[in-house]
A and B are shown apart, each in its own frame.
Chain A
């Protein structure tokens, strides 16, 4: 392809182009407004806001993960928050071990809650989490392995549609109950919190916050690029064929189960990464993250933005979460009703979400 052709090809990729442009602008402007603009100025962005944007971006990664599996492969997973939470817990365990002797009990090895439970030594599954690289691997491995086992069982038995959605809900609910238990060794209903440092940097310092923000922006960019690469590959076309006509895909020789499993595991790992970036920014991970409602919310983000377009998923995650932040500070009681209404409206009137709405408006303007 010549340069001109490439440029023209991009015209058909406005959504993706817009995404990269906005992401880049955010990654440049937010640090500028936060660090370079003096605190008294009207243009100054508080560290609180920086963290908020960082949180939205980690949600956007989760939305990309769900869109890959639901929008492109037709698997309505209502349990993706579980993979997000597992990634978060893996990161949380590392952050806990970083506390060291600064905990209330001053135990160098064990987190406070274990000392409180009178445990005599660190359980085997907490070993290694004092090393960042190990925790980073676990961020991928824990959700990936769970998704593999779950997907292998479910897809091989050809569980699809509503039944699959229900068992994903059951999965996240079971994990919610398990993580609530103190004996599990994940801090019970308090979860993991009071983190001090990450890689030796103070988590409260604006510089660290900014680094976390930038890391999340980078991860979102990479997740988006990976998602695009997958969906535009021949594998992506097979996956969409599975979504549209599963048994037909089998009859032309594709092992549908393998494709579903591969994408499901990839998507779960992506959700894990999102969780791992989320936890150091919000400073806590607790079993509430496994709440079945959370997984449903993610699906709503994607539906609102527009399933089957990655930038739609990102847009949906940001818009709905911005609305949530607004509602929960101004009208906290009606947030869930608003969310429910939003979902109904989108399902009935905007099957393609906001992205579809924009396309329709543009078409109408073009026709007028």
Chain B
């Protein structure tokens, strides 16, 4: 944790003066989330090693409030590991991670981070298979999640309405009472996106959302993610370049645990470094 900052950044970004542009977002911030500098996520010099192998290597990345950011990179670049760090699943060996100006993610547990307003969709869809679709959404719903509250909690009409709304959005209305385990792969992906919506997070981390989806489903996912940006900040990891092109304004390329390039999709795709390590590979 005590790695010295690069000299070029003597002042950490979150302490630098706020941008002058009048780009201030009006939204309900969870208590404590301070977006006054218009940046929702600060990752600085994050290093994660697994038995000496560096999955993340001094990764530094900032995400603006309301932004929709795409992260691409070859297999094993460290994209999922980065999400693990942000959500508290993996503790980095060094570096800092801040949510807004005031929330230090590295000192928090997974549920604390989730409650602070960071939601995640996993690469491998993980829904609660023994629960119904409705119950999955109910479980994910934002609110007080303490034990005694849950023992006596009844869904309010507003909450029921919200669940129905999300069911509509993710197209699983007819499967309301079905066990999540019997859904198709694509439907599970959607259910997980629905769970993410129920959490009403400020920052959504979405790992490979369109894997296993039909082109129509992919298109709907793109629309949904685009509609979320602005009100929320969204970070999407995806291999599907057409999909990335259809949603992203800003793309970050990860390679061997650090940022290789950042820019618009065209800038990135024409960057010789990127072409060499990534776009040259047959997979994309």
Contact = CB atoms under 8 A, between A and B. Distances in A.
A252 B140 contact: yes
B277 interface: no
Contacts of A235: 147, 150-151, 153
Interface stretch (A57-65, A213-221, A254-262, A324-332): A254-262
A230 B139 contact: no
Nearest to A308: B130
Given A252-B139, A255-B145, A256-B111, A234 B130 contact: no
Contacts of A258: 146-147
Given A241-B131, A241-B139, A244-B130, A251 B147 contact: no
Interface in A212-258: 230, 233-235, 237-238, 240-241, 244-245, 247-256, 258
A240 B151 CA distance: 13
B178 to A, nearest CB: 16
B163 to A, nearest CB: 13
Contacts of B150: 233-235, 238
B102 interface: no
B89 interface: yes
A250 B109 contact: yes
Nearest to B142: A253
Given A233-B152, A237-B131, A245-B126, A252 B147 contact: no
- Please tell me the size bucket of the interface on B: 20 to 34
Contacts of A240: 128, 130-131
A235 B142 CA distance: 15
A317 to B, nearest CB: 24
Contacts of B195: 252
Contacts of B183: none
B138 interface: yes
Given A234-B153, A245-B126, A258-B146, A250 B111 contact: yes
B115 interface: yes
A254 B151 CA distance: 13
19 contacts: A234-B138, A235-B147, A235-B150, A237-B135, A240-B128, A244-B128, A248-B122, A248-B128, A250-B110, A250-B111, A250-B114, A251-B87, A251-B89, A252-B114, A252-B139, A252-B140, A252-B195, A253-B145, A255-B109
Given A237-B131, A240-B130, A258-B147, 13 more contacts: A234-B151, A235-B147, A235-B150, A238-B150, A241-B139, A248-B128, A250-B110, A251-B111, A251-B120, A251-B122, A254-B145, A255-B109, A255-B145
